Chains A and B, each alone.
Chain A
C-alpha cells in the first residue's frame, strides 16, 4: 500500500509546492507504515531531489506532451497510478494544478477530498483552512480512498539523505479537447505563492511613484512584492499582486505589511503567514493585533532604515 503524491513540474523542474506536497506525503507514509510514491508527469530534471524529502519511489511519465497542464488528462493518468500502486491516500499541492486535478480524480474514484490541509491527518480526519483562513475545520473523509491537497507550510520540512528509485510509468494517455496555445510568464518576478518572504504595501505609501523602496527592500530580502486591494483597484499596482480574501491567499514564512491598516478581508489572505511584521503610522491600525512585530512609524523613514539594516546583516 502506498501514499501517492502528485508532483507538478514547470519549465523542466519540479515546483516548490510539489516538494512541499512530497514532504507531507512522505511524513504521512512514515506515520502509517506505507510507501511514499511520487508521480511525475512530463519532463523534470530534478526528480532525484525528491529522495531528500522522503520519497522512495517515483513513477515518471517522461513525455514532452505532458509538459502542458491538462487536469482531465492528468486525473486519468493518476487514476491508473492509484490502481497500480494500490494507493490509499493521494496527496496534491493546493496550487493551480492541484486545485484543478484533485477534484477530477476524486469524482473519478468516488473518493472524499479535503482541500487546503494545514496539518497531517489524525486517522481519517484532516484539518483544513476555512472562511478564507479565519478558521479551521476538522473534516472526516468517509471513503476508503482519501485525497488531500496541501497548503504551503502545512508541516515542518524534514529534509534528509534518501534516494529514489525512478520507474518509467507506461500508461494510457487519453486525448482531450483542451489545447494550450501560449504560456505568458510574468517576467522573472518571484511567484507570490511560492515566496518565503513577501513585502507588501498599501495606501499608506501615498502614490505608485513611492514603490521603489518597497521593491528595493524586497530585492534585498529575496522577497516577492504584494499589495492591498485598494492599491490594486486604483491601479497603483497590478492586480496579480493583490493579496487578501478576494485576491491571492498566501502563507509565507515572513510577511511584512507597510502602510496597510489590516481590514478583515486583507487579514484573511495573509494570516497563515508564520511571522507578520506591521509598519504603520496609526497605532490603532487593526493589523497590529495580528502582528508578531510592529513599528509605529512613517514608512518613508522606516523602510530606508530597514534596507540599510538588511544590507548590513547580509553584507
Chain B
C-alpha cells in the first residue's frame, strides 16, 4: 500500500498572532512552527497504522522552501519512510494543489491523505483541488478509514451526524478528529529521521489565483459587563432586551 501524506507548516497553537510590513505579513518573530496538527495527528498517524497492518510505504510531501525541513524531519521521526519537498515559496492553495497533483500523477499512490485544514489559513482547499485535478473521489472531514484490499470504508462528518461511505483506490481524503491518536516520536525515530531520504524536487510553473493583501485583528471587545451572582435575572434581562440574543 503506497500512501502519500501531505503536510503543511503551521505556527504552534499557542503562538501570539501579530503582523508586520504594514499588516501584510504574519510576524514569525519568536513563533515556533509545527507540523499542522490535522496533518500530523490524524492523516500521518493513520497512514502509518495502515502501513503497519498492510505493508507498503508512507511518503510525506510538502510544498515549501528549505525552512520547512525541520517540520519534515519531525514527520520522518514519527515514522514516515521518506519525504519529498517541492521547492517553492508557499503560495495560494491552487498553486500548492497543482504541485501536489503533478507529483501524485507521476508516482501513482493508492491514496493521498491530508488534514482537514491548516490551523493558520484555515483554507480547507488543497485536498479537494488535488482530487479534482486528478479526477479522483474526495472524502473530506473523515473520522475513520479502514482498508480491505482496494476498497476503503470511511466515516465522514456531516451536519449533525456521520456518513459511512465506500470508495476504491486511488482517492484523496482529508482527516479530522477521531481518525487516529497522536504519536510522540521516540529517540530511535528521531535518530533514524536524520538519515531518511528528504528529496527536494523542482516546482512546476503555476499562477496564484488568490493573494493575501492585508491582515487585521478582530475589534477588541468593549469590555465585559459584570452582573452580580445574586442578580441572575438581570443577566437574562440584558440578554433579552439589550443584546437581543434570547
Contacts and interface: CB of A to CB of B under 8 A. Distances in A.
Interface stretch (B46-54, B82-90, B114-122, B191-199): B114-122
A313 B132 contact: no
A101 B216 contact: no
Interface size class of B (residues with CB under 8 A): 35 or more
A185 B160 contact: yes
Contact of A139 (B156, B171, B213, B229): B213
A181 B166 contact: yes
A30 interface: no
Nearest to A70: B137
A75 interface: yes
Question: Interface size bucket, A side?
Answer: 35 or more
A164 to B, nearest CB: 23
Given A100-B140, A103-B128, A294-B225, A130 B210 contact: no
Contacts of B156: 96
Given A112-B92, A137-B121, A302-B232, A296 B225 contact: no
Nearest to A196: B245
Most chain A Cβ neighbours within 10 Å, of B121, B130, B157, B246: B246
Interface stretch (A31-39, A54-62, A202-210, A273-281): A273-281
B64 interface: no
Interface stretch (A21-29, A153-161, A239-247): A239-247
Contact of A132 (B122, B126, B214, B233): B122
Interface string B33-59: 000011000000000000000000000
Nearest to B38: A246
A112 B209 contact: yes
A293 B239 contact: yes
Contacts of B163: 69, 180, 182-184
Interface in B63-94: 92-94
B123 interface: yes
A193 interface: yes
Nearest to B92: A112
Given A181-B165, A182-B164, A292-B225, A129 B126 contact: no
Contacts, number: 269
Contacts of B177: 239, 242, 246-247
A71 B157 CA distance: 14
A30 B168 CA distance: 44
A291 B239 contact: no
Contact of A177 (B92, B171, B213, B239): B171
A106 B94 contact: yes
Interface in B189-240: 207-218, 221, 224-229, 232-233, 235-240
Interface of B: 11, 13-14, 17, 19, 37-38, 92-94, 97, 116-117, 119-133, 135-141, 153, 156-168, 171, 177-178, 207-218, 221, 224-229, 232-233, 235-240, 243, 245-246
Closest A-B pairs by Cβ, 4 of them = A297-B229, A103-B128, A112-B209, A191-B160
